[in-house]
Amino acid sequence: MTLLCFLPWPNREMVQYTKKPAAQSVGVCYGTLGDNLPSATEVVQLCQRRGIEKMRIFEPNPATLQALRGSGIRLILGVPNVSLQDLASTPNAATDWIKSNVVTYASDVDIWCIAVGNEVSPTSAATSQFAQYVLPAMQNIQSALVAAGLGQIKVSTASSSELLGSSYPPSQGAFSDGASSFINPIIGFLVNNNSTFLANVYPYFAHIGDPANVQLSYALFTSPGVVVQDGQHGYQNLFDAMVDGFYAALEKAGGTALDIVVSESGWPSDGGLAATTENAKTYYTNLVYHAMAGTPKRPDKALDTYLFALFDENQKAGPESERHFGLFFPNEVPKY
């Protein structure tokens, strides 16, 4: 079972699937905002023991990159938002960044994609100051990779549903007027460079934002039947609806050729509405099984999905629930 050895088998509260999960479709997000976490070497060894073959990190931590040498773990390497302005301002900064964080490790670390920025939105009070730098930073990173002979590494940016102006029903998915001038050129870049669209997908936040209309069972993959009928497509879970909302928005923006990789998805076990161990266990288990199945809009195509997150991180900012997304406790004991 590899990855699923720390996740429970489905029970009557979980969706029943007839195939074993495609573990190769599922990875983990490894954040380090905690003062009680194991060393990078111990983390990589944990992933190897558990058969976790894909990882996303949010910044180029040298200890993590060193620990990943020879591990065979496929990596999404993040560029922090605070680095975007520097990388956008001059190609030399991007060249130096690639030399230090990619070329140094490329011979024995499987760097698959560089995520240039995370959840940047021109309409967000928290990230709007970074929006003008995302595309130029992506372009400079791409050029530096090609110059280094590493053009096979994809360059993208991780986007949130905040960019969508419409997502219901999924076929009506479209980027908002405020986001279009930001995201449309990025989509063009992704298409031209045969890259992929990274989407952070959180049914949890959709549920707690409108619990009266977004049913818990719809968010947890446990609805007994179709909840949203959208033309020929029936949606039994919110995750599919959110991903297909992104696909519809991409099609309207010239990105029909792009595949989506879900660069984050998770459910907290404490600290907020519906944040319980049982709900989190149900969500993660059903998500791992579901990733192999595709979505109604793109059926029978396994959806690469990165579970957020590997550990609870006790120094994360924001609501209390942000510190309880871990699949493992910091002592490496499985939470579920």
The residues that are catalytic are 119, 264
Answer yes or no: are the C-beta atoms of 34 and 314 closer than 8 Å: yes
Contact between 15 and 294 under an 8 Å Cβ cutoff? The reply is no
Alpha helices per DSSP H over the chain:
40-50, 62-67, 84-89, 91-98, 131-147, 177-192, 203-209, 216-219, 238-252, 277-290
Task: Say which DSSP state 326 is in.
Answer: -
Q: Alpha-carbon distance 250 to 175, whole Å?
A: 8
Q: Quote the CA–CA distance of 210 and 261 in Å, as a whole number.
A: 26
Place of tokens 């029936």: 234
3-state secondary structure 17-63: CCCCCCHHHEEEEECCCCCCCCCHHHHHHHHHHHCCCEEEECCCCHH
How far does CA 32 lie from the centroid of its chain?
A: 16
